Structure 1
Amino acid sequence: MVLALEIRELQKVDEWKMAFPVMKQLRTHLTLEEFVNLVKEMQPQGYRLFALFDEGEVVAVTGVAQQLNLYYGKNMYVYDLVTDEAGRSKGYGEALLSYIHELARGLGCGKVALTSGLQRVDAHRFYEEKMGYERKSYAFVREL
């Protein structure tokens, strides 16, 4: 059986809403309204939302933005990457992240960077063993 996989950039509110059930699995603290409002606010900063569809259903979602900084130069930052729980280990995350690698290359980025919560051990294994990422730093946060 050939799978009908498609990756699309989600640019409209209705498309974001369609992706929310998958994104909610990563960003459990967000309501639909908060999610839509944040995506709207982040767009002027370069945030872009992409989804991988299998047979017309959203099975993986990523949010990225092109950045420029002193330590990585021109890079693509992955803010969010999540595969629907029911579709994990089917290659969806790999396909979507590989797409982002090509998008970044095409935009002249030299690196793709991301952070991942300490508790996400399976995700770390995926990034390092499957996708060739190196663990380079710790991220620190202070609540205000």
Structure 2
Amino acid sequence: MKHRERLLPTVCVQSEGDIVAVIGFKPIITLYYGRFIWICDLVTDTTKRSSGYGEKLLTYVHKWAKDNGYESVALSSGLQRTDAHRFYEEKMEYDKVSYVLKKSLE
């Protein structure tokens, strides 16, 4: 079986020549979600948070997904990231729909 690593679509926001936020995402099809976009990474410089960069990046992905025929956008966020959860749920209107579970294969 062959496996090829693929680069994810990645978009960034720059301010004064510096990258201040970045998002990586990929299209996926599953039985549960159908055609959707998975947000793999959304990172904002800690000194630049609450400046609208995360909203700008997610809005871009939402538009890209809709324009390309995807039904939804999903992501996971660490349990300890309460500020991020508030942003996703209150500002970006995401719903909690599941837990993400992980098993390390050491």
TM-score (norm 2): 0.91
Residues 12-91 of structure 1: pairs in structure 2 closer than 5 A: 41-43=5-7, 47-91=8-52
Q: Distance in 1 between matches of 2:89 and 2:43?
A: 16
RMSD in angstroms over aligned alpha carbons?
A: 1.2
Identity in percent: 49
Give the drift of 1:42.
3.0
Aligned to 1:136: 97
Unaligned runs of 5+ in 1: 1-39
Unaligned runs of 5+ in 2: none
Give the drift of 1:82.
1.1
Cα offsets for 1:9-65 (capped at 9, x unmatched): xxxxxxxxxxxxxxxxxxxxxxxxxxxxxxx9232xxx2111111232211001100
One-letter identity of the residue aligned with 1:138: Y
Give the drift of 1:72.
1.1
Structure 1 residue runs of 4 or more that deviate by more than 4 Å after TM superposition: none
1:112 to 73, 80, 94: 73
TM-score (norm 1): 0.68
Structure with greater proportional helix content: 1
Q: Secondary structure at the match of 2:5?
A: helix
